[in-house]
Chains A and B, each alone.
Chain A
Amino acid sequence: MNCKEAQNLINGYVDGELDLVRNLEIEHHIQECALCTQSYKNQQLLRNEIKTGSFYFKAPADLQRRIQLSLRKATKAEGRAWVLPKWWFNIAAPMAAAAVMVLALVPFLRGPSADDLLAREIVSSHVRSLMASHLADVPSSDQHTVKPWFAGKVNFSPPVEDLAKQGFPLIGGRLDYLDNRPVAALIYQRQKHFINLFIWPSESDSAVETKTVSRQGYNLSHWTRSGMTYWAASDLNNAELQEFVQLLQNQTSPTS
């Protein structure tokens, strides 16, 4: 090994990065050559100075804490983005949404929705009465026959009016079951259309104005007056049904 080769390898030698053969070669050369010995000594001196000198910057005292805080912040932020959705969000979010929906619906559930269920029941009852040729338990156009028929069957006496003169002849009466209670059903006719008028005592005495809804092609009108709740259901057009309702209300209010 000559000096040039030795100089090229001297860093590797100082750093202990040479293979065994090269290591022995350069050691041999350094022993023989004063120039390379000096070079080697300088190299070692420099290396020791850098290594042992206070060239190493230790982390400032606050840095670890600062990094730990930022890591926790990042973990939380990441948690918000992907950990919580895995369990918390999947459960809590729909629950919260459902709670909001329920809360929002409460006023409607108490009012329209109860009526809605009842309206469905009434349409079903109306349809059933027409299907099963069971329109009337007491087929009579005489209100004085129909009205007493209910006595003993229901615990109230439904007002029965004959509106034959006004074009809505009474067909008869029937016992029905609605809203978890037995109710009186009166059947009226308008040409080929039948009207079921369901009557039962209302829970409160206060009158309720006529409301009209449409279900499955049937028109429904309901109101409360003189402690009775009335539901009229028919496939009759709404205008004629309202005429019927008006006639009935005019009849019942002053007399009974």
Chain B
Amino acid sequence: MGEKDKLARFEQVILPHLDAAYNLARWLTRNEDDAKDMAQEAYLRAFKFFDAFRGVDGRAWLLTIVRNTCYTWLQQNRAHDITTMFDEEIHSADSDTSNPATLVLQSADHEILRQALDELPVEFREVVVLRDLEDFSYKEIAEIANIPAGTVMSRLARARERLKQVLSNRLKKEA
């Protein structure tokens, strides 16, 4: 395959997933400019390894590369983000398992929820993004994030628990 043909095919198969690539990069880097850089770098890497792409799902393949590109960047530039542990104290303090309050979302909750998601540790943030924004299955997420499917489920559970908690805390403050 000539370079020209390769590029044409790459743009046809992989470029349509630019929004997905940017969205993941944006949630992982939490910054617009860095997300652009990561998306660009990921696309260049994807093109380089495009000969090895045999899969059907270009989006999952691309997002694996985006994720790896972002993690490399995070390790070099945001080491703190990677090592941030899940705050178990807040998390386990008042689990709604014992007494689930009815969530009634208001327009202001939207921003609260966004911020709560943004503040989740990166490995929890990414499973929510891949599941709820990209609609990948647990199996696909497991492959993209290179973790067991059971870990995908447990991380999702903890992440969602946290988000619900943030929202119910808001309800409590109002009450």
A residues neighboring B (CB under 8 Å): 3, 7-8, 10-12, 15, 17, 35, 38-39, 41-43, 45-47, 49-51, 53, 55-60, 63-64, 66-68, 70-72, 74-75, 78-79, 83
Contact = CB atoms under 8 A, between A and B. Distances in A.
Given A59-B18, A63-B36, A43 B160 contact: yes
B61 to A, nearest CB: 16
Interface in B16-65: 18-19, 21-23, 26-27, 32, 35-36, 39-40, 43-44, 47-48
Contacts of A59: 18-19, 21-23, 39
21 contacts: A7-B97, A11-B157, A12-B138, A39-B100, A41-B102, A41-B103, A42-B100, A46-B103, A47-B160, A49-B113, A50-B133, A59-B21, A60-B32, A60-B36, A63-B36, A63-B39, A64-B15, A67-B15, A70-B44, A72-B7, A83-B3
A71 B43 contact: yes
B103 A45 contact: yes
A12 B47 CA distance: 35
A17 B18 contact: no
Given A11-B156, A42-B100, A66-B40, A55 B117 contact: yes
Contacts of B102: 38, 41-42
Given A39-B96, A50-B117, A63-B36, A71 B11 contact: yes
Give 4 nearest A-B pairs by CB, closest first. Answer: A59-B22, A57-B26, A50-B132, A38-B100
B163 A57 contact: no
A46 B105 CA distance: 9
Nearest to A53: B110
A143 to B, nearest CB: 79
B133 to A, nearest CB: 5
Contacts, number: 119
Say what secondary structure dominates the interface of chain B: helix
Nearest to B21: A59
Given A42-B164, A47-B132, 20 more contacts: A3-B97, A15-B138, A15-B156, A35-B100, A39-B100, A50-B128, A50-B163, A53-B113, A53-B114, A57-B27, A58-B22, A59-B23, A63-B18, A66-B36, A66-B40, A67-B18, A67-B39, A71-B10, A71-B44, A83-B3
A11 B113 contact: no
A44 to B, nearest CB: 10
Contacts of B109: 49
A71 B40 CA distance: 9
Contacts of B35: 57
Contacts of B40: 63, 66-67, 70
B158 to A, nearest CB: 9
Contacts of A35: 100
Nearest to B129: A55
A49 B153 contact: no
A38 B26 CA distance: 33
A17 B138 contact: yes
B4 interface: yes
Contact of A11 (B10, B100, B137, B160): B160
B152 to A, nearest CB: 9
B91 interface: no
Contact of B22 (A11, A38, A39, A63): A63
B161 to A, nearest CB: 9
Nearest to A86: B2
Contacts of B163: 46, 50
A49 B105 contact: yes
B9 to A, nearest CB: 12
B5 to A, nearest CB: 11
Contacts of A12: 138, 153
